[in-house]
Each structure stands twice: as C-alpha cells, then as structure tokens.
C-alpha cells in the first residue's frame, strides 16, 4: 500500500507540474496575441522561424476555423504592427517580419492552399488522437489506469501543435527535395541542349568550310594530274640494247 501511495503521490506531483506548465503555455499564447511591435518581430524571426512560419495560422495567430472577415482584420492589425514604416529603428528585421505575415495571409486567401494547410492541421490532430487511442488500448490490456496526460485539453492541444509543426516541416523538406531534383533535371536538360546545339554548330562550320575549300581542292587535283601527264609526255621512251658480241680471232 505504501508503494501504491508513493506512486499516487508521484503521479499527482507530475500531473500538477504538467498542469502548471500548460497553464503557463496558455498564458503565453494569450499574451502573444497582444505583443508589442518588437515582440511580434522577435516572434516571427525567432530561431527556427523558417519552420515555425510554415503554418500560416501560427504566423497570423488566428484560429484555423476563423472566417475570412476575421482573417482580414487580423492581417490588417498584425501587418500594421510589424510594418517597416512603424519600426524605423529596425527596418531590415521588420521588413522580414512583414513579409512573413504577408506571405501567410496571401496563402490563406488561396482556397487550395488554405485547404492544404487545414488538412495538415487535421492530420496532426488525427495522429495524436490515434496515438492516445492505441496507448489506452495497451494500458487496458496491461490492466493499468487509462488516465493519460493527453486527457488534459491543454496537453492534447500542445501535442497536436508539435505534431502539426512536424508535418509542416516534413512537407517543406519534401518540397525542397523535389525542387532540387527538378532544378537538377532542368540543368541536365539545358546542358544536353547546349551540347546538341554546339555539335550542330560544329557540323555547320565543317560543312561550310568543306564547301568553301572544295573548288580549291578540285583545282589542286587537276593541276596535279596535268603535271603528271606532261611529265609522262616529255620523258623519252627507252629500249633495251642487246650486248655487243666480241668476235674471236683465229690464228
């Protein structure tokens, strides 16, 4: 019983820690929605922002189920807040932050892009729900308590958030791989085109040179033949002379 009490005590402390942690996370999220100019710029350019900002809803800090009117109002408020004209002391950083906000807004204006972003978020939620369901099955099979951290709405929300960011990152990595592959293929195709064009140019130049020098080659051959013919005509014909026979003198 002591062991059980100890285990229960540890569980309660753990639950309390998690509860406090996610309460703090919730407070931070609420505070972030009213960040100052500089704080918003820092948020949009924080380390890892290239992946954090893949989620357009996260960039604009707006609910995925927000209406078009709510989206427009949120973009207007946030874009004014981080606009370079409002942040003269750090225009370079504010320009980058503004571009991130503008990109997210324009993406969500495209029905296909917005649906794709929503699909990723829903996929993240479904993954966490499936994980919780499977884990509860295993706990039941093992005869253990079915209570899980994810039963806490804030913990569940944070788990979905992490999984969603992971999915966005994986999709971006795959996109970059496809882009690099396409670029390589285009480069190779271009190199082949250049090689074919160079060969065709060399062939044309050779043919042109061949045509231009053909008359000269023909004249040279005719001159050579004429010289050979004259040489044969001037050379006298020679005949073999029989050897002289020396007569023997008789005594």
- Is the per-residue pLDDT at 249 higher than 80? no
Is 94 or 8 the better-scoring residue by pLDDT? 94
Give the DSSP letter string of 30-75: HHHTT--HHHHHHHHTSTTHHHHTTSHHHHHT--TT--HHHHHHHH
How far is the C-alpha of 227 from the C-alpha of 242, rounded, in Å? 34
pLDDT at 99: 96
- Is the per-residue pLDDT at 6 higher than 60? no
**72-97 residue pLDDT tens:** 999 999 999 999 999 999 999 999 99
How far is the C-alpha of 140 from the C-alpha of 146, rounded, in Å? 7
pLDDT at 245: 60
Among the ranges given (29-33, 101-105, 133-137, 172-176), the one the predictor scored with the smallest mean pLDDT? 29-33
How far is the C-alpha of 106 from the C-alpha of 102, rounded, in Å? 6
Cβ-contact 100, 108 below 8 angstroms? no
Is 155 or 224 the better-scoring residue by pLDDT? 155
Among the ranges given (101-115, 124-138, 181-195, 230-244), the one the predictor scored with the smallest mean pLDDT? 230-244
- In this prediction the pTM is 0.59
Mean pLDDT of 182-194: 88
Q: Given phi > 0 = left and psi -120 to 50 = alpha, else beta, which region is 240?
A: beta
Percent composition of the chain: helix, strand, coil (DSSP 3-state, to 5): 80, 0, 20
pLDDT at 7: 46
- Is the per-residue pLDDT at 221 higher than 60? yes
Q: Exposed, middle or buried by CB within 10 Å (0-12, 13-18, 19+), for 166?
A: middle
CA distances from 136 to 8, 13, 15, 149 (A): 19, 21, 17, 11
pLDDT at 237: 59
Mean pLDDT of 223-227: 70
Tokens describing residue 103: 């990109």
């Amino acid at each position: 019983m002591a062991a059980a009490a100890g285990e229960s005590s540890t569980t309660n402390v753990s639950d309390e820690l998690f509860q406090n942690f996610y309460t703090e996370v919730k407070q931070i999220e609420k505070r972030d929605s009213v960040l100052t100019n500089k704080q918003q710029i820092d948020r949009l350019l924080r380390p890892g922002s290239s992946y954090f900002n893949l989620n357009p809803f996260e960039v604009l800090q707006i609910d995925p189920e927000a209406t078009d009117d709510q989206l427009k109002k949120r973009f207007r408020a946030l874009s004014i807040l981080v606009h370079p004209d409002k942040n003269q002391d750090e225009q370079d950083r504010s320009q980058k932050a503004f571009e991130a906000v503008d990109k997210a807004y324009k993406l969500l204006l495209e029905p296909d892009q917005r649906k794709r972003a929503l699909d990723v978020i829903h996929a993240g939620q479904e993954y966490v729900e499936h994980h919780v369901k499977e884990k509860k099955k295993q706990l039941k099979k093992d005869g253990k308590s079915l209570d899980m951290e994810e039963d806490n709405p804030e913990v569940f929300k944070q788990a979905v958030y992490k999984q969603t960011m992971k999915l966005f990152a994986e999709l971006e990595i795959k996109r970059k791989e496809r882009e690099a592959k396409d670029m390589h293929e285009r480069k190779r195709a271009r190199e082949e085109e250049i090689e074919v064009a160079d060969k065709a140019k060399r062939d044309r130049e050779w043919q042109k040179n061949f045509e231009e020098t053909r008359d000269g080659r023909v004249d040279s051959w005719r001159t050579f033949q004429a010289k050979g013919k004259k040489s044969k005509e001037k050379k006298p014909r020679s005949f073999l002379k029989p050897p002289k026979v020396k007569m023997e003198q008789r005594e």
